[in-house]
Amino acid sequence: MTDDRSFERTARSWLETGPTEAPERVIDAAFVEIASTPQERDWHVPWRLPKMNPFARALIGVAAVAVLVIGGLRLLPATSGTIGGVPTASPTTTPAASAAAVASPRFPLTGTFTSTLMGYSIKIADGWVAEPATIPWDTATDNGPPGVDSITMTGTDSSLGVASQPIPAGSTYEQFLVQFHKNTVPGVPTGCDGGDPSTWKSVQIGPETGVLQQLCNATIAFADVGGRIYRFAWGSDTFNTNQHITEAEFKDLLKTVTFAPTAAKSPVAP
């Protein structure tokens, strides 16, 4: 088995030996588990929107504005604003509104999810489903599971995706944000990219101060902690603002974060 051709022939022949059919009992066992396993909701932030003809896009745009205006007028007295609305339409949460959200929360944050891969902990409510990431967060190709921790907020149509990685060698946190923003722009409607990172508003994430990139049906909070970039992305399945978590709830959630950058295991993705 010295030459390449002989080696490959032997290797292929060796690989051919072995079972050729999946055991039925394994499939049956899987389906017993699947019978009681819910699917994850698709919280994915739509970086790339499907192609649509200009007329249909305009029509949907008009309809969306109408829904937002009518919905906003109906809900204005009762709500404090929802993360994921059109940026200019989202009212800023005042300290009073935030305090009210803490005083009577819709979702008492009684549990804790700790991510050893990403190096942080966050409070979660009863019934929320946390799915830890299993591979490093690759900012270039994927902003969903399995490269991010996914927390499904049962009772809403919203989910939280959290990931972190060391600041790439030769780069800075600010440069990372600029690049991340550039990656965002081609995939979202005009005006939904959150603007230049230097204009992003600050937000409290645990004991740290981060920034918020406000998209149109998602919001992403970033922080630089101990040489790692952390990203907390809120997204939703629908444009039904009644089903979303509110801006105050998202910010309250961010305040519960504790960071452990030195314990994080996730490297920079290749």
Partner 1 sequence: MARTTPEAEVDRDLVELARKGDREAFAVLVHQVSDSLYTVAHRILRDPGLAEDALQNALVLAWRRLPHLREPDRFEAWFHRILVHACYDESQRARQWTAHVRVLPVDGPTTPDESAAVADRDQLERAFRRLPMDQRAVFVLHHYLGLPLVEIAQMLEIPAGTARSRLHYAIRGLRAAIEAESESTAQEGRLA
Piece of 2-10, 84-92, 176-184, 214-222 that binds partner 1 (CB under 8 A):
2-10
> Which 8-state DSSP code applies to residue 114?
E
Q: Which is nearer to partner 1, 30 or 63 (CB)?
A: 30
Q: List alpha helices for the chain, DSSP H.
A: 4-16, 24-35, 54-75, 95-103, 173-184, 247-255
> What minimum distance in Å lies between the beta carbon of 130 and partner 1?
13
Q: For partner 1, which residue of 72, 86, 105, 138 counts as binding (CB under 8 A)?
A: 138
Residue 197 CB contacts under 8 Å (≥ 6 apart), including other chains: 174, 177, 178, 180, 181, 211, 213
Is 135 a binder of partner 1 (CB under 8 A)?
yes
Sign of CA dihedral 264, 116, 232, 181: positive
> What minimum distance in Å lies between the beta carbon of 231 and partner 1?
18
Q: Which is nearer to partner 1, 1 or 73 (CB)?
A: 1
Binding positions for partner 1, 3-62, rule CB under 8 A: 7-8, 10-23, 26-27, 29-31, 33-35, 37-42, 44
Contact by Cβ (8 Å): 243, 233: no
Size of the site for partner 1 (CB under 8 A): 42
Contact by Cβ (8 Å): 234, 218: yes
Task: Look at the block and give the residue holding tokens 């649509």.
Answer: 52
Is 174 a binder of partner 1 (CB under 8 A)?
no
Is 170 a binder of partner 1 (CB under 8 A)?
no
